[in-house]
Amino acid sequence: MRFRSIAALSLAGAMLVPLAACSSSGESKNEIKIAYQRATDNNSRVMDNFLTGVKKEFEKANPGKKVTLVPIQATENDYYTKLDLMMKSPRTAPDLAYEDTFLINSDIKAGFLQPIDSRVKSWDQWPQFQDSAKKAVSGLDGKVYGVPDGTDTRGIWYDKRVFAKAGLPANWQPKSWDDLLAAARAIKKKAPGVTPMSIYTGKANGEAASMQGFEMLLYGTDDQLYNPQQKKWVTGSKGFQDSMSFLKTIYSTGLAPKPSQALDANIGTNIATDWFPNQKIGFSIDGSWLASTWLKTGAKPWADWSKNIGWTAMPTQHGQAPGKTSMSGGWSWAITRQAKNPDLAWKFITAMQTEKNAAKYDNSAQNLTVRKDVAADPSYLAAAPTVKFFTDLVASTHYRPAYAEYPKVSTVIQEQMEAVTTGSSSPTQATAAYDKAVSDIVGGKTTKESGTK
């Protein structure tokens, strides 16, 4: 979850710690180093706790072997930047890296990752992974570059207490974007002081803006980012401009957070740990993992969250089939190209990705499992009341274009979202700017066809 000049200076200084921590000084064939993202919220330690437990088990089962955890405390975009810089140098490259699957092809192209085909082929656990998850960690060359640890979907979370004040139903099921606007307007009118709705936007929020925000709108229209039949990026689409127009409506009429709040990289943490628990927001387009914040192991334990919070699907623009939409992503464990001990790194992956450990992490992180055996595990199904709902959304979900150009395209989306959010560009201007930038990025391999689903 690299853009502002002032932030860049802070980033350079902040990177000294993880780079030094990953120095080759004193490293041996008996040690592996694992780089992963640590949330900027100091109370959220789901991944830390999980890896610490696996590290303890692994070192006990493998006397003389040492596992060094290298947490990178950063927002998502800054994590990507820091990890890339680490992987560029043999001196700082970790053996294992926690890799967002949408970056796999761009990181393959950059020479950061090594294929693991021969390893997964002889691994008895690999057949347990769903084919869609295997595809997500495969490069355009057909080789496997990571082991997925889960997936996710996205929908709408809403506060039943706020809805009651606004005269809205506790069992809310919006059918179109108009229904979203109607609910937000009712909240603004009848629950003063409450932010009616939130949709992530702007450069500071990275993929949370482009995927979890904009693409949740776009993929509910008759258009999308990429035409797989033509193998071209879509420009000039009505759906793109309509999505930008939706953003303008909510941010220019007080239906969403103030731009200063919306463009804060910590807004996701604020929504989960403060706004929802304290009835400061009506609804948020957000990820399936949101409830992990409120579990006993989460950053903000909240015993009554499931009584006070509801969840529903994101509707398509006009209610057109299939009536709802979602976006899915996922993370994986990848062995870096410059790993000093790739064999030991692989051994750690297999220890980390047993059925027992996979279920343990999925339950605590509110991940959606990508393993067939975990999906049938009663403890997984009972981990939270939201599991089945968000798992069922996989049937109507979409994935980002798995091409090396996507990260740059995503950045352009974030920039144009921010321009519309602040009012410095109109939806028409933002769409035109996006079209030009994307054409430059992909070398003119674009199509102006709409309705490409």
CATH number of domain containing 235 = 3.40.190.10
Q: Are residues 139 and 221 in the same domain?
A: no
Q: What pLDDT score does 249 carry?
A: 98
Q: Are residues 248 and 347 in the same domain?
A: no
Q: What pLDDT score does 24 carry?
A: 46
Q: Compute the average pLDDT of residues 19-33.
A: 65
CA distance 318 to 309: 25
What is the strand order of the sheet 195-198 is part of? 195-198, 281-287, 154-159, 309-312
* Total count of domains within the chain: 2
- The amino acid at residue 400 is R
Q: What is the DSSP letter of 140?
A: T
Closest-CA residue to 156 (of 189, 188, 183, 193): 183
Is the pLDDT score of 23 beyond 60?
no
pLDDT band at 43 (very low <50, low <70, confident <90, very high): low
Tokens standing for residue 148: 């997925």
- DSSP state string for 279-295: T-EEEEEEETTGGGGGS
Is the pLDDT score of 14 beyond 60?
no
Q: What pLDDT score does 1 carry?
A: 35
Per the domain annotation, does 79 fall within a domain?
Answer: yes
CA distances from 184 to 48, 162, 187 (A): 37, 11, 5
Per the domain annotation, does 158 fall within a domain?
Answer: yes
Q: What angle do CA 80, 83, 85 make, to 5 degrees?
A: 110
- Respond yes or no on whether the N-terminal peptide bond of residue 196 is cis (omega within 30° of 0): no
Per the domain annotation, does 440 fall within a domain?
Answer: no
End-to-end CA distance of the chain: 27
Q: What angle do CA 406, 408, 413 make, to 5 degrees?
A: 90
Among residues 384, 405, 424, the one where a domain terminates is 384
Q: Compute the average pLDDT of residues 211-237.
A: 96
Q: Are residues 175 and 323 in the same domain?
A: yes
- The domain in which residue 90 lies consists of 5-152+329-384
Q: Compute the average pLDDT of residues 260-266.
A: 96
Count CB atoms within 10 A of the CB of residue 30. Answer: 12
Q: Compute the average pLDDT of residues 382-391.
A: 91
Tokens standing for residue 435: 């079209």
Per the domain annotation, does 447 fall within a domain?
Answer: no
Query: Which comes out higher in pLDDT, residue 412 or 391?
Result: 412
pLDDT in tens, 127-161: 999 998 999 999 999 999 999 999 999 999 999 99
Is the pLDDT score of 290 beyond 90?
yes
Q: Which residues neighbour 228 within 8 Å (Cβ) at sequence distance 6 or greater?
A: none
Q: Are residues 299 and 354 in the same domain?
A: no
Q: Are residues 280 and 362 in the same domain?
A: no
Is the pLDDT score of 243 beyond 90?
yes
Q: Are residues 142 and 174 in the same domain?
A: no
Tokens standing for residue 203: 């450069």
Among residues 261, 293, 328, the one where a domain terminates is 328
Give the total residue count for the chain: 453
The least confident of 270-279, 289-298, 359-368, 441-450 is 441-450
Is the pLDDT score of 297 beyond 60?
yes
Q: What pLDDT score does 453 carry?
A: 54
Q: Are residues 270 and 359 in the same domain?
A: no
Q: What pLDDT score does 281 carry?
A: 98
pLDDT in tens, 331-357: 999 999 999 999 999 999 999 999 999
Closest-CA residue to 198 (of 156, 162, 248, 168): 156
Alpha helices, H only, 219-302: 238-252, 259-262, 267-270
22: left (phi over 0), alpha (psi -120 to 50) or beta: alpha
pLDDT in tens, 158-213: 999 999 999 999 999 999 999 999 999 999 999 999 999 999 999 999 999 999 99
Count CB atoms within 10 A of the CB of residue 230. Answer: 13
